[in-house]
Protein backbone atom coordinates (compact mmCIF):
# COMPACT_ATOMS: atom_id res chain seq x y z
CA UNK A 1 0.00 0.00 0.00
CA UNK A 2 1.04 3.57 -0.53
CA UNK A 3 1.80 5.63 2.48
CA UNK A 4 0.96 4.97 6.06
CA UNK A 5 -2.44 3.50 5.36
CA UNK A 6 -2.67 0.69 7.92
CA UNK A 7 -2.11 3.08 10.81
CA UNK A 8 -2.96 6.77 10.72
CA UNK A 9 0.47 7.54 12.09
CA UNK A 10 3.39 7.89 9.67
CA UNK A 11 5.13 4.52 9.48
CA UNK A 12 8.45 4.13 11.28
CA UNK A 13 10.32 3.89 7.97
CA UNK A 14 9.23 7.42 7.07
CA UNK A 15 10.80 8.78 10.27
CA UNK A 16 14.02 6.82 9.97
CA UNK A 17 17.05 9.06 9.46
CA UNK A 18 19.81 8.14 7.04
CA UNK A 19 18.61 7.36 3.55
CA UNK A 20 18.49 10.18 1.03
CA UNK A 21 17.63 7.97 -1.93
CA UNK A 22 14.00 7.81 -3.00
CA UNK A 23 14.63 4.64 -4.99
CA UNK A 24 15.96 2.86 -1.91
CA UNK A 25 12.99 4.09 0.09
CA UNK A 26 10.59 2.91 -2.61
CA UNK A 27 12.33 -0.47 -2.81
CA UNK A 28 11.79 -0.93 0.94
CA UNK A 29 8.29 0.51 1.20
CA UNK A 30 6.52 -0.22 -2.08
CA UNK A 31 8.75 -2.43 -4.25
CA UNK A 32 5.87 -3.13 -6.62
CA UNK A 33 6.07 0.50 -7.77
CA UNK A 34 9.64 0.15 -9.07
CA UNK A 35 9.77 0.07 -12.85
CA UNK A 36 10.78 -3.28 -14.33
CA UNK A 37 10.20 -5.15 -11.11
CA UNK A 38 7.72 -7.73 -12.36
CA UNK A 39 8.88 -11.16 -13.57
CA UNK A 40 8.09 -11.92 -17.19
CA UNK A 41 7.45 -15.38 -18.62
CA UNK A 42 10.38 -16.64 -20.68
CA UNK A 43 10.67 -15.49 -24.25
CA UNK A 44 11.14 -12.35 -26.27
CA UNK A 45 8.80 -9.52 -25.33
CA UNK A 46 10.26 -6.90 -27.66
CA UNK A 47 7.18 -6.67 -29.89
CA UNK A 48 4.88 -6.09 -26.94
CA UNK A 49 5.09 -2.37 -26.45
CA UNK A 50 6.02 0.81 -28.30
CA UNK A 51 9.67 1.69 -28.72
CA UNK A 52 11.11 5.14 -28.66
CA UNK A 53 13.90 5.92 -31.03
CA UNK A 54 16.53 8.58 -31.66
CA UNK A 55 17.98 11.06 -29.16
CA UNK A 56 20.91 13.35 -29.92
CA UNK A 57 22.89 15.73 -27.73
CA UNK A 58 25.70 18.19 -28.37
CA UNK A 59 27.69 20.48 -26.12
CA UNK A 60 28.63 24.08 -26.77
CA UNK A 61 30.63 26.57 -24.76
CA UNK A 62 28.41 27.21 -21.74
CA UNK A 63 25.88 24.42 -22.06
CA UNK A 64 24.40 21.45 -23.83
CA UNK A 65 21.52 20.79 -26.22
CA UNK A 66 19.46 17.60 -26.30
CA UNK A 67 16.86 16.76 -28.90
CA UNK A 68 14.63 13.80 -29.68
CA UNK A 69 12.35 12.91 -32.57
CA UNK A 70 8.64 12.34 -31.90
CA UNK A 71 8.01 8.81 -33.17
CA UNK A 72 7.26 5.64 -31.22
CA UNK A 73 7.04 2.38 -33.13
CA UNK A 74 5.64 -1.07 -32.47
CA UNK A 75 7.23 -3.41 -34.93
CA UNK A 76 6.43 -1.84 -38.30
CA UNK A 77 3.55 0.22 -36.98
CA UNK A 78 3.90 3.84 -35.89
CA UNK A 79 2.46 3.73 -32.40
CA UNK A 80 2.57 7.45 -31.73
CA UNK A 81 3.62 10.48 -33.77
CA UNK A 82 3.99 13.05 -31.04
CA UNK A 83 5.58 11.19 -28.15
CA UNK A 84 7.99 13.21 -26.01
CA UNK A 85 11.28 11.53 -25.22
CA UNK A 86 13.38 14.36 -23.83
CA UNK A 87 12.65 15.47 -20.28
CA UNK A 88 14.23 17.79 -17.77
CA UNK A 89 15.76 15.58 -15.05
CA UNK A 90 16.21 18.54 -12.73
CA UNK A 91 17.02 22.22 -13.08
CA UNK A 92 20.45 21.57 -14.63
CA UNK A 93 20.10 18.34 -16.53
CA UNK A 94 18.01 16.58 -19.12
CA UNK A 95 17.41 12.95 -19.97
CA UNK A 96 16.34 11.48 -23.28
CA UNK A 97 15.06 7.95 -23.69
CA UNK A 98 15.38 5.26 -26.29
CA UNK A 99 14.01 1.75 -25.94
CA UNK A 100 10.76 0.45 -24.46
CA UNK A 101 8.70 3.59 -23.99
CA UNK A 102 6.56 2.46 -21.06
CA UNK A 103 9.49 1.38 -18.91
CA UNK A 104 11.61 4.33 -19.99
CA UNK A 105 9.02 6.98 -19.09
CA UNK A 106 8.54 5.36 -15.70
CA UNK A 107 12.29 5.27 -15.18
CA UNK A 108 12.53 8.97 -16.00
CA UNK A 109 9.79 9.74 -13.47
CA UNK A 110 11.68 7.79 -10.83
CA UNK A 111 14.94 9.50 -11.76
CA UNK A 112 13.35 12.96 -11.55
CA UNK A 113 11.88 12.15 -8.15
CA UNK A 114 15.21 10.73 -7.02
CA UNK A 115 17.08 13.95 -7.84
CA UNK A 116 14.45 16.21 -6.32
CA UNK A 117 14.20 14.03 -3.21
CA UNK A 118 17.93 14.26 -2.60
CA UNK A 119 17.85 18.00 -3.14
CA UNK A 120 15.05 18.53 -0.64
CA UNK A 121 16.44 16.27 2.05
CA UNK A 122 20.08 17.32 1.78
CA UNK A 123 19.47 20.96 0.90
CA UNK A 124 21.92 20.73 -1.99
CA UNK A 125 21.93 19.21 -5.47
CA UNK A 126 23.81 16.05 -6.43
CA UNK A 127 27.01 16.51 -8.41
CA UNK A 128 26.78 15.86 -12.15
CA UNK A 129 28.65 12.55 -11.73
CA UNK A 130 26.39 11.64 -8.81
CA UNK A 131 23.33 12.11 -10.98
CA UNK A 132 24.87 10.09 -13.82
CA UNK A 133 25.69 7.24 -11.41
CA UNK A 134 22.16 7.17 -9.96
CA UNK A 135 20.76 6.81 -13.47
CA UNK A 136 23.21 3.97 -14.14
CA UNK A 137 21.91 2.15 -11.06
CA UNK A 138 18.30 2.50 -12.27
CA UNK A 139 19.20 1.06 -15.67
CA UNK A 140 21.07 -1.84 -14.08
CA UNK A 141 17.91 -2.79 -12.16
CA UNK A 142 16.19 -3.26 -15.50
CA UNK A 143 18.72 -5.78 -16.84
CA UNK A 144 16.33 -8.73 -16.56
CA UNK A 145 13.74 -6.97 -18.70
CA UNK A 146 16.41 -5.84 -21.14
CA UNK A 147 17.44 -9.45 -21.70
CA UNK A 148 13.90 -10.19 -22.82
CA UNK A 149 13.90 -7.37 -25.31
CA UNK A 150 12.51 -4.60 -23.13
CA UNK A 151 15.62 -2.49 -22.85
CA UNK A 152 15.86 1.14 -21.83
CA UNK A 153 18.89 3.13 -23.01
CA UNK A 154 18.82 6.77 -22.00
CA UNK A 155 21.11 9.63 -22.85
CA UNK A 156 21.87 12.00 -20.00
CA UNK A 157 23.20 15.53 -20.39
CA UNK A 158 23.50 18.55 -18.21
CA UNK A 159 25.42 21.58 -17.13
CA UNK A 160 28.08 20.77 -14.54
CA UNK A 161 28.04 23.65 -12.04
CA UNK A 162 31.50 22.72 -10.75
CA UNK A 163 33.44 22.53 -14.00
CA UNK A 164 31.01 25.02 -15.63
CA UNK A 165 30.50 23.12 -18.86
CA UNK A 166 27.99 20.91 -20.58
CA UNK A 167 28.51 17.16 -20.22
CA UNK A 168 26.96 14.13 -21.91
CA UNK A 169 26.70 10.55 -20.59
CA UNK A 170 25.63 7.49 -22.50
CA UNK A 171 24.68 4.10 -21.05
CA UNK A 172 24.40 0.47 -21.98
CA UNK A 173 21.71 -1.93 -20.76
CA UNK A 174 23.92 -3.28 -17.98
CA UNK A 175 24.21 0.19 -16.43
CA UNK A 176 27.60 0.93 -17.93
CA UNK A 177 28.14 4.68 -17.87
CA UNK A 178 30.31 6.41 -20.47
CA UNK A 179 31.08 10.06 -20.70
CA UNK A 180 31.01 11.40 -24.25
CA UNK A 181 32.86 14.38 -25.62
CA UNK A 182 31.23 16.98 -27.85
CA UNK A 183 28.18 15.03 -29.08
CA UNK A 184 26.42 11.69 -28.98
CA UNK A 185 23.28 9.91 -30.14
CA UNK A 186 21.35 6.86 -28.97
CA UNK A 187 18.50 4.79 -30.37
CA UNK A 188 17.76 3.09 -33.66
CA UNK A 189 18.67 6.11 -35.80
CA UNK A 190 21.76 6.94 -33.78
CA UNK A 191 24.24 5.61 -36.36
CA UNK A 192 22.97 8.04 -38.97
CA UNK A 193 22.60 10.89 -36.50
CA UNK A 194 26.14 10.41 -35.26
CA UNK A 195 27.48 10.28 -38.79
CA UNK A 196 25.67 13.49 -39.55
CA UNK A 197 26.98 15.21 -36.41
CA UNK A 198 30.52 14.09 -37.20
CA UNK A 199 30.40 16.21 -40.34
CA UNK A 200 28.36 19.11 -38.98
CA UNK A 201 29.60 19.59 -35.42
CA UNK A 202 32.29 22.15 -34.74
CA UNK A 203 33.79 23.26 -31.43
CA UNK A 204 32.95 26.88 -32.14
CA UNK A 205 29.20 26.29 -32.50
CA UNK A 206 27.11 28.32 -30.08
CA UNK A 207 23.69 27.43 -28.70
CA UNK A 208 21.88 28.32 -31.93
CA UNK A 209 24.42 26.43 -34.04
CA UNK A 210 24.08 23.33 -31.90
CA UNK A 211 20.28 23.44 -32.14
CA UNK A 212 20.66 23.55 -35.93
CA UNK A 213 23.14 20.68 -35.90
CA UNK A 214 20.98 18.36 -33.79
CA UNK A 215 17.92 19.03 -35.95
CA UNK A 216 19.97 18.28 -39.07
CA UNK A 217 21.16 15.07 -37.37
CA UNK A 218 17.60 14.02 -36.54
CA UNK A 219 16.60 14.72 -40.15
CA UNK A 220 19.39 12.45 -41.34
CA UNK A 221 18.38 9.76 -38.84
CA UNK A 222 14.76 9.93 -40.04
CA UNK A 223 15.97 9.85 -43.63
CA UNK A 224 17.59 6.43 -43.24
CA UNK A 225 15.90 4.83 -40.22
CA UNK A 226 12.23 3.90 -40.53
CA UNK A 227 11.67 4.07 -36.77
CA UNK A 228 12.77 7.69 -36.46
CA UNK A 229 10.24 10.39 -37.30
CA UNK A 230 11.29 13.37 -39.39
CA UNK A 231 9.74 16.84 -39.09
CA UNK A 232 5.99 16.35 -39.66
CA UNK A 233 5.17 19.33 -41.90
CA UNK A 234 1.48 18.57 -42.31
CA UNK A 235 0.73 18.15 -38.62
CA UNK A 236 3.43 20.63 -37.52
CA UNK A 237 5.09 18.17 -35.15
CA UNK A 238 8.76 18.94 -34.57
CA UNK A 239 11.50 17.54 -32.32
CA UNK A 240 11.60 18.35 -28.62
CA UNK A 241 14.72 20.41 -27.91
CA UNK A 242 15.98 21.00 -24.39
CA UNK A 243 18.81 23.47 -23.73
CA UNK A 244 20.69 23.46 -20.41
CA UNK A 245 23.03 26.30 -19.45
CA UNK A 246 24.28 27.94 -16.25
CA UNK A 247 20.84 29.59 -15.97
CA UNK A 248 19.12 26.22 -15.81
CA UNK A 249 17.28 24.12 -18.36
CA UNK A 250 14.50 25.17 -20.70
CA UNK A 251 12.58 23.55 -23.50
CA UNK A 252 12.68 25.55 -26.71
CA UNK A 253 9.25 26.73 -27.80
CA UNK A 254 7.52 24.82 -30.59
CA UNK A 255 7.52 27.98 -32.75
CA UNK A 256 11.27 28.33 -32.46
CA UNK A 257 11.97 24.68 -33.28
CA UNK A 258 9.46 24.85 -36.15
CA UNK A 259 11.33 27.82 -37.59
CA UNK A 260 14.68 25.96 -37.52
CA UNK A 261 13.08 22.79 -38.89
CA UNK A 262 11.41 24.73 -41.72
CA UNK A 263 14.78 26.17 -42.70
CA UNK A 264 16.39 22.72 -42.61
CA UNK A 265 13.60 21.29 -44.78
CA UNK A 266 13.80 24.21 -47.22
CA UNK A 267 17.55 23.62 -47.65
CA UNK A 268 16.93 19.89 -48.16
CA UNK A 269 14.51 20.73 -50.96
CA UNK A 270 17.52 22.04 -52.82
CA UNK A 271 19.98 19.39 -51.60
CA UNK A 272 18.24 16.35 -50.04
CA UNK A 273 21.42 15.01 -48.44
CA UNK A 274 22.00 18.15 -46.41
CA UNK A 275 24.89 20.58 -46.08
CA UNK A 276 28.09 19.79 -47.93
CA UNK A 277 31.20 19.15 -45.86
CA UNK A 278 34.59 20.04 -47.22
CA UNK A 279 36.82 17.20 -48.35
CA UNK A 280 40.02 18.43 -46.83
Partner 1 sequence: MSTPFYVSPEQMMKDRADFARKGIARGRSVVVVQYADGVLFASENPSQALHKVSEIYDRIAFAAVGRYNEFENLRIAGVRLADMRGYSYDRRDVTGRGLANAYAQTLGTIFSAAGEKPYEVELFVAEVGDVASEDQLYRLTYDGQVADEHDFAVMGGAAEVVAAHLEENFVQGCTLEAAVRLAVAALGHSEQGDRTIGVDDLEVAVLDRTRAQMRKFYRLRGARLSELLLPTVADPTPRGSAVDSEAGSDTAPAPDTDL
| Catalytic residue list | 53
> What are the CA-CA distances from residue 78 to residues 53, 70, 116, 148, 197 (Å)?
11, 11, 34, 22, 26
Compare residues 1 and 269 and give the one whose CB is closer to partner 1. 1
Task: State how far the Cα of 31 lies from the Cα of 28, in Å rounded to an integer.
Answer: 6
Nearest distance from C-beta of residue 71 to partner 1, angstroms:
26
Compare residues 69 and 106 and give the one whose CB is closer to partner 1. 106
Compare residues 61 and 122 and give the one whose CB is closer to partner 1. 122
Contact 258, 236 (CB under 8 A): yes
Compare residues 161 and 233 and give the one whose CB is closer to partner 1. 161
Nearest distance from C-beta of residue 112 to partner 1, angstroms:
9
Nearest distance from C-beta of residue 105 to partner 1, angstroms:
13
The b/e string for 225-253 (b: 16+ C-beta within 10 A; e otherwise) is bebbbbbbeeeebbbbbbbbbeeebebbe
Q: Name the residues that contact partner 1, by CB under 8 A.
A: 2-4, 8-10, 14-15, 17, 22, 25-26, 29-30, 33, 90-92, 109-110, 113, 116-117, 119-121, 123-125, 247-248
Compare residues 110 and 241 and give the one whose CB is closer to partner 1. 110
Nearest distance from C-beta of residue 182 to partner 1, angstroms:
27
Contact 1, 9 (CB under 8 A): no
Task: State how far the Cα of 228 lies from the Cα of 196, in Å rounded to an integer.
Answer: 14
Q: How many CA atoms lie within 13 A of 121 on its CB side?
A: 17
Nearest distance from C-beta of residue 125 to partner 1, angstroms:
5
Within a 10 A sphere around the Cβ of 182, how many other Cβ atoms?
16
Amino acid sequence: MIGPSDSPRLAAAYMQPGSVSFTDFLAAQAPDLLPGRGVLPAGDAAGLAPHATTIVAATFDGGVVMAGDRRATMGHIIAQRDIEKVFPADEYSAVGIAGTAGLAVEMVRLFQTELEHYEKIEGTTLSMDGKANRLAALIRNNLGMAMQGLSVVPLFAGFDLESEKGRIFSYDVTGGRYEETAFHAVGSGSLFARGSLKKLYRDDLGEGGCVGAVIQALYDAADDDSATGGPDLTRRIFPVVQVVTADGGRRLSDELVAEVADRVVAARMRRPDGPVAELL
